[in-house]
Structure 1
Amino acid sequence: MNPANPTGLSDWPYPYWIAHRGAGKERPENTLCAFEHGSACGFSMFECDVKLSADGVPFLLHDDTLERTTNGRGPADALPWAELAQLDAGGWHSSNSAGEPLPTLATIAAHCLQQGAALNIEIKPMPGQEAATGSAVALAARALWQGQRVPPLLSSFQPAALQAAQQAAPELPRALLLDTLWSGWPEVAAQLGCVAIVCQHRLPDAALMQQARAMGWRVLCYTANRAADVQRLRALGVDGLITDEMHWARSQNLD
């Protein structure tokens, strides 16, 4: 097996355009209605954040606390799934979305598989739960996408989470998330058997693209919302863009 392609992906099966947290900002992030809206806009790949409930259920939420995007309070991992499932994860966004629940990873997997859509799962552990979350999310993803031609892409800012995912389900492709080019990141990405890096959109330049290509990595960028940024990144030859902007992305070729 090619050490630069340890998961055995013979080509890059993922679409170029990726809807951020389901449907950017037009629907409450990381909810099923956001994914449904993103699908209606024509997206065939999504990004989401996944962490664990107190009883180990993988569910979608970005923050470490519940206040911003739900009517709950406190740490996101303090409640079992039965209680998290009762929270309103849509009312903060708009009255039309009130009552929208938090979804499990299984719920979002079912939507993506029904739509034929790909998924980038950001493993978003609570502090101190990096290994446990990486392992649980990878094992859940393996089971949910069993037998599917296009597996989910697992990504994280936390190397420990990706390492646990690598150990739990080594066949699933992995990507290292980068908000800065910190010292030693290429060695870490190589050790983790990553097939891609996912960079803050201002980071890529010709030198980074050359470095990534030499290592056999694809380059994705978040969160590309301005036309000028998209034009620059496309000219550099990046392999995918994560975006919030449904409005202008609808007019693009969603390849």
Structure 2
Amino acid sequence: MAEWPYPRWIAHRGAGKLAPENTLAAFRVGASYGYRMFECDAKLSADGVPFLMHDATLERTTNGHGTGGDKPWSELSQLDAGSWHSRTYAGEPLPTMAALARYCIHNGWFLNIEIKPTPGVEARTGAVVAAEAQRLWAGQAVQPLLTSFRPDALEGAQRAAPALPRGLLLDTLWKGWLETALTLDCVAIVCNQNLWDVSTVTQAKSAGFRCLSYTVNDEWAAERLIELGTDGIITDRVDLFSPA
């Protein structure tokens, strides 16, 4: 990417902890605080529908039980994904990636889609999510940034939609991380904020990558990352950091 089209500030899972994560309600809350870019998690239903949810299992953020990826979309679409957070959001449904795309495109928002596969279907999830993103954002000036901790998911995305931008997520600097990102033709490295220092930022930038951080909720941490010259900050604290 010769030009980096994305804003620095990115709302984690829509609005951090102010609304039920990965729901359209969360994106509306994040937008009300002035955010123009959002991070979300996408996985596949049993019948191949990309939908938003972080965990492999349903219990934490819905009234369902079991593994989300084992259920058809007809069942997942009936779940309550808001009551766990607060009464205000009771009945909020799980959204499809298509529903989120319509919202973001209509409003001109940017998106970081983390490919969050159910264990065992990493490559397929990457391929389906990327193909769907390519279809949904066809003709748009800025495409969503696809990221994942799983290189096999990013490889699936690379095969299905090579033109979409990709980023490698890291929670540790495992051996070969830089070479893997190069092989996957990534445009960004998205790190646990604690992994960035002068050396790692220099390595990543010298290889042509943009540097993003998660999940940054303290002012001192954000200031450190800005001083290091990183390019993106994913935060829960949409009420603390003004993206302006």
TM-score, with normalisation over the residues of structure 2?
Answer: 0.99
Aligned: 1:177 with 2:169: yes
Distance 2:206 2:97 in 1: 34
Are the equivalent residues in 2 in contact too, given 1:39–1:115 (CA < 8 A)? no
Shift, 1:236, TM fit: 0.5
What code does the residue aligned with 2:50 have? P
- For 1:6, the equivalent position in structure 2 comes to none
Distance 1:158 1:181 in 2: 14
Distance 1:164 1:42 in 2: 33
Distance 2:69 2:117 in 1: 9
Deviations along 1:4-42, one digit per CA (max 9) or x if unpaired, are xxxxx3300000000000000000000000001111110
* Partner residue of 1:79 out of 61, 71, 82: 71
How do 1:1-16 and structure 2 match up within 5 A? Answer: 9-16=1-8
Shift, 1:198, TM fit: 0.3
Task: Give the SS at the match of 1:88.
Answer: coil
Shift, 1:246, TM fit: 1.5
* Partner residue of 1:59 out of 47, 51, 67: 51
- For 2:187, the equivalent position in structure 1 comes to 195
* Partner residue of 1:137 out of 118, 129, 140: 129
Shift, 1:88, TM fit: 0.1
- For 1:150, the equivalent position in structure 2 comes to 142
- For 1:43, the equivalent position in structure 2 comes to 35
What code does the residue aligned with 2:155 have? Q
What code does the residue aligned with 1:37 have? V
Structure 1 segments of 4 or more deviating over 3 A?
none
The percent identity for this pair of structures is 59
Deviations along 1:181-202, one digit per CA (max 9) or x if unpaired, are 0011111000000000000011
Distance 1:247 1:146 in 2: 33
Task: Give the SS at the match of 1:21.
Answer: helix
Distance 1:153 1:20 in 2: 14
Distance 2:103 2:8 in 1: 19
Distance 2:70 2:159 in 1: 26
Shift, 1:213, TM fit: 1.1
Distance 1:89 1:157 in 2: 24
Unaligned segments of structure 1, at least 5 residues: 1-8
Task: Give the SS at the match of 1:87.
Answer: coil
What code does the residue aligned with 2:185 have? G
Deviations along 1:217-244, one digit per CA (max 9) or x if unpaired, are 0000000001111111111011000000
What code does the residue aligned with 2:227 have? A
Root mean square deviation, CA, Å:
0.7
Deviations along 1:74-129, one digit per CA (max 9) or x if unpaired, are 01111100110000000000001000000000011111111101000000001110
- For 1:241, the equivalent position in structure 2 comes to 233
Unaligned segments of structure 2, at least 5 residues: none
- For 1:212, the equivalent position in structure 2 comes to 204
Distance 1:140 1:181 in 2: 30
* Partner residue of 1:70 out of 62, 77, 83: 62
- Number of residue-to-residue matches in the alignment: 244
Distance 1:188 1:246 in 2: 32
Distance 2:56 2:205 in 1: 34
Task: Give the SS at the match of 1:190.
Answer: helix
